Amino acid sequence: MGKWEYIQLPTISIMFLMLKHFSYDRLKVICNHLALKIADIMSVKEESTVEYFRPEHPNTTVYISLIAILTALTTVSTIVLIVPFPTTAGYFNLGDVLVMISGFILGPLGGFIAGGGGSAIADLIVAPQYAPITLVAKGLEGMVVGLFSAKTFKENRIRIWDVIGVILASCVMMLGYLLGEMFILEYSFGAALAELVTVNSIQVIVGSLVTLSIGPMIRSYLRDLTYKGEIPQEVDTLES
């Protein structure tokens, strides 16, 4: 429904209610004035909500499109390079790069959907038994990155919150797989720990380094490309 349709509906209702008490000319003036006021309010609201690509505003066409794109890229990056781990059904992959970048760009909600969903789709293709664990573990990984990177969304450089985010996200991902393999897939602690040390740890290190290297640049590019206006000053960021 367009902007003017939102304005016309309440205006017509008011016209019928006030018809008995006002002349046609008087009613026309009042309704026109009301329509202009509503249009001004909606215009101000639109300008304030599109100043920057904010993770807390997920219901935008751009946001949904980026979720779809990054979900697909996460799936592709996970299956494009696979190195099986001998003692479990796990495998080394580069998907954590896109999981963390998704959280870095989209915030916690988009990070969970794109990171967890894209990785789980890849597991359904390669190792279906891992899909539920992956959905949670990598979904939380993307969410944690998003929670901390949202604090520095107007920055063009790496900040301490970005570093803390990828470190904590890495710990969450490794712990998630360790517990999932032990209690859901029923692997021994030794086998699960061996995969954590030799596979999962390398994945999150690669993902962290790549995300911290190119994440701020991508974030800045999307902000400047997609939205106009000054970024709100009240946003809490960590100054250098």
The amino acid at residue 35 is A
Question: DSSP secondary-structure letter at 158?
Answer: -
Examine the pLDDT at 129 and tell me if it is beyond 50: yes
Q: Counting beta carbons within 10 angstroms of the beta carbon of residue 112, is it exposed (0 to 12), middle (13 to 18) or buried (19 or more)?
A: buried
Residue 171's pLDDT is 97
Query: What b/e string do you get for 34-55 counting C-beta neighbours within 10 Å, with b at 16 or more?
Result: ebeebeeeeeeeeeeebebbbb
Residue 212's pLDDT is 94
Residue 61's pLDDT is 79
Q: Encode pLDDT of 46-96 as tens digits.
A: 443 333 445 444 447 788 889 999 999 999 999 998 898 877 888 899 999
In sequence order, what are the beta bridge partners of 189? Answer: none
Q: Encode pLDDT of 204-231 as tens digits.
A: 999 999 999 998 888 888 776 655 444 4
Q: How confident is the model at residue 42 (pLDDT cuts 50, 70, 90)?
A: very low
Q: Encode pLDDT of 148-202 as tens digits.
A: 988 887 777 889 999 999 999 999 999 999 999 999 999 999 999 999 999 999 9
Q: Which two tokens stand for residue 208?
A: 């962290």
Q: CA 216, 220, 226: angle at the middle one, nearest 5?
A: 145
d(CA 187, CA 190): 8
Looking at the chain, the whole-number percentage of residues with pLDDT higher than 90 is 50
The 10 Å Cβ neighbour count of residue 186 is 8
Cα→Cα distances 7→63, 114, 159, Å: 26, 36, 44
Q: Encode pLDDT of 136-163 as tens digits.
A: 999 999 999 999 988 887 777 889 999 9
Q: Which two tokens stand for residue 149?
A: 């990177």
* Ramachandran angles phi, psi of 76, nearest 5°: -65, -45
Q: Which two tokens stand for residue 153?
A: 């969304």
What mean pLDDT is predicted for residues 131-136? 96
Residue 25's pLDDT is 58
What mean pLDDT is predicted for residues 95-117? 94
Cα→Cα distances 6→35, 153, 173, Å: 10, 32, 45
Crossing angle between the packed helical segments 201-226 and 95-111, to the nearest 10 degrees: 50
Residue 7's pLDDT is 40
The amino acid at residue 82 is I
Residue 71's pLDDT is 96
Residue 63's pLDDT is 83
Only one residue has tokens 């019928």, namely 16
Residue 26's pLDDT is 57
Residue 75's pLDDT is 96
* All structural domains of the chain: 3-49 (no CATH), 61-226 (1.10.1760.20)
Stated length of the chain: 240
Q: Counting beta carbons within 10 angstroms of the beta carbon of residue 230, is it exposed (0 to 12), middle (13 to 18) or buried (19 or more)?
A: exposed
DSSP H helical ranges for the chain: 3-18, 24-49, 61-79, 95-111, 117-126, 131-149, 160-183, 189-195, 201-226
